[in-house]
Chains A and B, each alone.
Chain A
Amino acid sequence: MTTSQANNPLGPGYDNVAGSVKRFRDVFRDTLRAEMIRDEDVFLMGEDISGGFDRDTKEPLDAWGGPFAATKGLVQEFGPERIRDAPISEAGFVGAAIGSALTGLRPVVDLMYFDFVTVAFDQLLSNAAKSRYMFGGQTRVPLTLFARSGAGTGHAAQHSESFYSMLAHIPGLKVVVPSDPYSVKGLLAAAIRDDDPVFLVNDKKLINLDGFVPDEDYVIELGKGRYLRRGSDVTLVGMSYTSVACQKAADQLAEIGVDAEVIDMMSLSPFDEDILIESVQKTNNVVIVDEDTPRASMASEFAAVIADKAFDHLDGPIKRVTAPHAPVPYNRDLENAFMPQPEDVVGTVKNLLGRE
């Protein structure tokens, strides 16, 4: 199969690239595996990634295939030294990962749910992000972390966060947010090969989605966005799962004659200012869609850059469609109202363009 036959995640202009349709979860694991084969210094750690051990033989059981089955089969292939099961000690093992990165290894940490990053936050902020700078460039921290974010699964307030903006706020840390199988392959490989600490935030709602993935080995340059759809009336800016919501909104808008352009940011720090400005210069209208809470958020940051650098091209206010300034509720209806839905994006665009 090639990109011209498949829905093309590479965006307009990339035709006849060979690949196949795969599930996000499988691509994630295959990419981890490929990077571990590529470089012997790459190893993984996290809670339950061996899925228990046989009481008698002490062999790993891989009962769950790791959290969200992201590491299924890897412990059999690489052994418990390189697929290192960690006790529930996030501050300790993230700190140890940083220490191993400072001394020559390339650790990859599965933090399970994104919310748990706060238990290890001091290590990330004070050690991972600052070591290179405060030690005058003597060292590098080739650390990769990943975790699952997002509401929509009934996990309530402490297992549903999307506060990637808190990480993007930290100088020295890089933050990426895949939105489909294509982007997770390229971003995860790039993160592991990068010499700075990179956090890959993976919305749970993506894990069982399918999408086209090129066969070839590739990385997506950190800090680059992409066009998922070209249009001339309004720019919809998505990140992580909201890129999927933006595409659905663009389909609905097409039915009422609104031609929306969809940008998927893919990287939050550094991020692609050029693509934002280029698109707004053309469409003159922009709606930014973010599941994070709105204060001091990526949506606010993108809006600030657009206001600063493309002000003269705007026909109307920069609109943001975000979660409310609230924790994630448990009740399903409230949770659905918490998340930006395609219908919310459509409504905002209609208001912005004065259509009814």
Chain B
Amino acid sequence: MDISKEKLEWIYTTMYRIRRFEETMLEQTFKGNSMGVTHPSDGQEAPPTGICAHLTDKDWIGSTHRGHGHCIAKGLDTSAMMAEIMGKATGQCGGKGGSMHIADFSKGMLGANAIVGASIPLAVGAALTAKYKGIENESVGVSFFGDGASSQGVLHESMNLAAVWKLPVIFACENNGYAEATPAWYAVSTDDIASRAEGYGMPGVVVDGMDVFAVYDAAGEAIARARAGEGPTFLELKTYRYHGHFHADDTKKYRKPDEEEFYQQKDPLKHFEKTVTKQKLMTAKKLKSIRDDIEQEMLDAVEFGLNSPMPDASSLYEDVYVNYSNPIPGLR
């Protein structure tokens, strides 16, 4: 296997961190400590991890309502994320964004986005900046979106733009089989969404999105192409969300148990553990010590969130504009 030891450790740490962040975040949501709706991404750890393994803080990603995994893979701080979900002043966006709007511009994270499809052209724009400045080799754009979002016109416009302008973009479609309760086989007119790439003149690759090694390899090729100035690639990552569409959604109403079991068998973490121990790339002891560190990190994140202060009342009026402060508060 052509992955360094450090990279393997990073991959496992990142996937386990995503898994445990989502589980911890759900626990906190059910305890009433989240201030709003949350969309867990456990089960889908491999796509953000396998892709972001090739990125640095100078590369940009766009994300979705199901964005915690993307944030974590791009290196965001889990305490600041947890505090954001709890609506606290110390949160990643000062408590004003919440779960669906976590962003960190210092880490190349353009923000989770609650309008389905809306973040796709932002990653295209980040790639445009890179091309404009002549730094494609060190700054590419990756757009994460779902099977549901693939029906939005803005994706198709973005794909054509990226191909016409030969921009360093990766369209990373996380096909988890469902948009809310609606199955992809109903809402998408083709078996493989990646097959649409051909029509826009870019490579389209179908990838097993439960296998982080497969994602890592496919993403590596696509990102190398982008960095070399060869333009966009479309990756379709077939994956599965373990939990409901949002925290309170019951999947039993629209998914069958055998299907859920099938994907549990392909669990990305178990697959990783089996592969690296069999090939003697990592020891069981090392894997456990990574998990233990993450358990502590989650306890710390929750404590940080719970003990953090609320935002100042005045922040309601701040940052509407850069240089035009508090134009009109509520008329009362």
Q: Which residue of B lies closest to A338 (CB)?
A: B316
- For B183, list chain A residues within 8 Å (CB): 52-53, 55
- For B88, list chain A residues within 8 Å (CB): 331
Q: Which of A51, A88, A324, A326 contacts B152 (CB 8 A)?
A: A88
Query: Assuming A156-B100, A330-B97, is B256 touching A55 (CB within 8 A)?
Result: yes
Q: Which of B87, B181, B317 contacts A63 (CB 8 A)?
A: B181
Task: Please determine whether B117 and A88 come into contact, CB atoms closer than 8 angstroms.
Answer: yes
Q: Is B332 an interface residue (CB 8 A)?
A: yes
Measured between alpha carbons, how far is A90 from B182 in the docked complex, in Å? Answer: 15
Interface of B is mostly: loop
Measured between alpha carbons, how far is A340 from B331 in the docked complex, in Å? Answer: 9
Q: Is B315 an interface residue (CB 8 A)?
A: yes
Task: Please determine whether B153 and A91 come into contact, CB atoms closer than 8 angstroms.
Answer: yes
Q: Is A82 an interface residue (CB 8 A)?
A: no
Q: How many residues of B contact A (CB 8 A)?
A: 52
The stretch of B108-116, B212-220, B229-237, B284-292 in contact with A is B108-116
Measured between alpha carbons, how far is A115 from B114 in the docked complex, in Å? Answer: 10
Closest chain B CB from A236 CB (angstroms):
14
Per-position binary interface string of chain B over residues 77-120, scored 1 when its CB falls under 8 Å from any chain A CB and 0 otherwise: 00000001001100001011110110000000000011111100
- For B186, list chain A residues within 8 Å (CB): 52-53, 85
Query: Assuming A119-B115, A321-B331, is B151 touching A88 (CB within 8 A)?
Result: yes
Q: Is B31 an interface residue (CB 8 A)?
A: no
Closest chain B CB from A281 CB (angstroms):
24
Query: Assuming A63-B253, A154-B98, is B35 touching A331 (CB within 8 A)?
Result: yes
- For B188, list chain A residues within 8 Å (CB): 87
Q: How many residues of A contact B (CB 8 A)?
A: 51
Q: Which of B149, B181, B310 contacts A64 (CB 8 A)?
A: B181
Q: Which residue of B lies closest to A48 (CB)?
A: B180
- For A338, list chain B residues within 8 Å (CB): 316, 330
Task: Please determine whether B330 and A294 come into contact, CB atoms closer than 8 angstroms.
Answer: yes
Closest chain A CB from B103 CB (angstroms):
12
- For B178, list chain A residues within 8 Å (CB): 52
- For A330, list chain B residues within 8 Å (CB): 35-36, 84, 87, 93, 95-98, 101
Query: Assuming A116-B115, A154-B35, A157-B101, is B96 touching A329 (CB within 8 A)?
Result: yes
Closest chain A CB from B57 CB (angstroms):
25
Query: Assuming A154-B98, A334-B311, A334-B316, is B331 touching A320 (CB within 8 A)?
Result: yes
B interface residue numbers (CB < 8 A to A) = 34-37, 84, 87-88, 93, 95-98, 100-101, 113-118, 148-149, 151-153, 178-183, 185-188, 253-254, 256, 259, 310-311, 313, 315-317, 320, 327-332
Can you list 22 A-B contacts (CB < 8 A)?
A52-B178, A52-B253, A53-B182, A53-B183, A53-B186, A55-B185, A63-B254, A85-B186, A87-B179, A88-B148, A154-B34, A156-B100, A159-B100, A320-B331, A324-B316, A324-B330, A325-B328, A327-B320, A329-B95, A330-B95, A330-B96, A334-B315
